[in-house]
Chains A and B, each alone.
Chain A
Amino acid sequence: MIHDIITNPYVIQIFKAVLVFGAVLQIVPGLVYFERRIAAWIQDRVGPNRVGPLGALQPVADVIKLAFKEDITPDGADRWIYRLAPLLVYAPAILAFTVIPVGLDTQAAHFDLGIVFLLTVGSFGVYGLAFGGWASNNKYSLIGGLRASAQMISYEVALGLAVISVVMTAQSIDLQVIVQQQYSAGGTLLGLHLFGFDGFLSWNVFRQPLAAIIFLIASFAETNRLPFDLPECEAELVGGYHTEYSSLKFATFFLGEYVAMLTMSALMVTLFLGGWHMPWLDVPAVMGDASIWTILISIGIFTGKLTFLLFFFIWVRWSFPRFRYDQLMHLGWKILIPLSLGNLGLTALGGILGWNWLIPLPF
């Protein structure tokens, strides 16, 4: 009876979905805590260390504080759009995460169109920012929302083109296949087969280095993180599109931004850093394909890579100043998009002419 229930595919599917959603939501408070601690260390401060052991309960205190604040809707706000905006930031980000393979056969939703779905849903986030800016009836919010839309649309092009290069390399838009293929493609660097680097040099970051860099930069811009956080720059726009938001609406905005950062990092891991595969160790082969240990270990490996990327996001945020708006647009339109187009063309050419030394394709 119980065996029937737990092996029922729908139950398994629901369990996986709950697990992934729950995990993502639980990671965010920890991420906020680590961001504040790391920021403090980088700036030679101590950071939050009072609430709970080492200050680890600080996010809980933050959330309680936010929940008890007055929820203000400004006069003249477009009420429904004002209420909808935070959800439109948060929902696409977490929905996009569902197709990320966090471990062997561990996705909340596994379907062939993985990467297309992710890009489509992920780009809905811009509506939330634009709506929030528009509906607040505040000039700073409006400018913040405008900047956010312009920036996200601009960088989405470069991001998408970089992703297409990877898709062309992998010959698939299924994220599991892309991950699998990064392990099995074999390790060659510029045509040299380096013994002992199988499953490591086959990562797309080595096969598509330019796409990886473009993707990284564009993902900073997509998540409005610091070198590109013009939509909410405090110095000139108070808080940007969430200037007027308070209480749990602000918390939802905040949550959405962090989930977006999580999703972008997870996508980067999946597309470029070998996903849940460990270099030099074929976990499914060693532990058995259907073993629960395989799944747990692969989730652990994925989490490790994700943690490094998240740390990198935080590290960059507290290292660099913000771009000027024209510099932002210059970088997006005149540098990243031509570069990614060029990379795309090169990948296509390499594929047609069979230049395996340039870009090792799986055929």
Chain B
Amino acid sequence: MAHDHDHDHDDGPAEPKGPGLAERTYFVPLIKGLANTLHHMFRVDANTQHYPEQRRAPAPGYRGEHRLKRDELGREKCVACFLCSTACPAHCIEIVAEEAPWSDREKRPRLFNIDMMRCIYCGMCEEACPCDAIELTPVFNIPSRTRGEKIYDKERLLSN
């Protein structure tokens, strides 16, 4: 009470001022908020890609569905060495080998199935392959009606 007049000489930290009337009624902040949203509303926005019409270019190294490659004679490059199947952490590659009819290799795959529902698209098969026969493509959006359709056989993989 007695020290009211020498308020300025208090050595303690200044009391934080309560919000003033303008702040407590929120009037100005409300106007500011409305102005902000109005600004956003009339902003020309180029961020959205209209998906089916506009497709984004896949990033380099994007890992989508697999493809089996052919050599220059049109034969599949795979020699059924089982390295991809061994490297696969999801155990989704099933290979049955048979004797190759050609002189430059001993084996070729009779069966080469990849369960795309199991695959985790890690790309380890591609890295393990000694013949550069399997690779991951950027294709990511092939739907199917049944689970069976997502087990790709050799022909499907060769045509991918």
Q: Give residues in A with beta carbon < 8 Å to B.
A: 38, 41-46, 315-316, 318-320
Contacts and interface: CB of A to CB of B under 8 A. Distances in A.
A250 B103 CA distance: 72
Contact of B40 (A44, A46, A316): A44
Interface stretch (B1-9, B13-21, B41-49, B56-64): B41-49
Contact of A41 (B34, B36, B41, B50): B41
B50 A46 contact: yes
B40 A43 contact: yes
A42 B34 contact: no
A315 B47 contact: no
A320 B37 CA distance: 10
A315 B40 contact: no
Given A46-B48, A46-B50, A41 B40 contact: yes
Contacts of A318: 37
Contact of A315 (B34, B45, B50): B34
A315 B33 CA distance: 10
Given A43-B40, A46-B45, 20 more contacts: A38-B41, A41-B40, A41-B42, A41-B45, A42-B37, A42-B38, A42-B40, A42-B41, A44-B43, A44-B45, A45-B45, A45-B48, A46-B48, A46-B50, A315-B34, A315-B37, A315-B38, A315-B41, A319-B33, A320-B30
Contacts, number: 31
B101 to A, nearest CB: 53
A44 B33 contact: no
Nearest to B27: A213
Nearest to A312: B34
Contacts of B43: 44
29 contacts: A38-B41, A41-B40, A41-B41, A41-B42, A41-B45, A42-B37, A42-B38, A42-B41, A43-B40, A44-B40, A44-B43, A44-B45, A44-B47, A45-B45, A45-B48, A46-B45, A46-B48, A46-B50, A315-B34, A315-B37, A315-B38, A315-B41, A316-B34, A318-B37, A319-B33, A319-B34, A319-B36, A319-B37, A320-B30
Nearest to A43: B40
B158 to A, nearest CB: 36
A45 B40 CA distance: 10
A318 to B, nearest CB: 6
Contacts of B36: 319
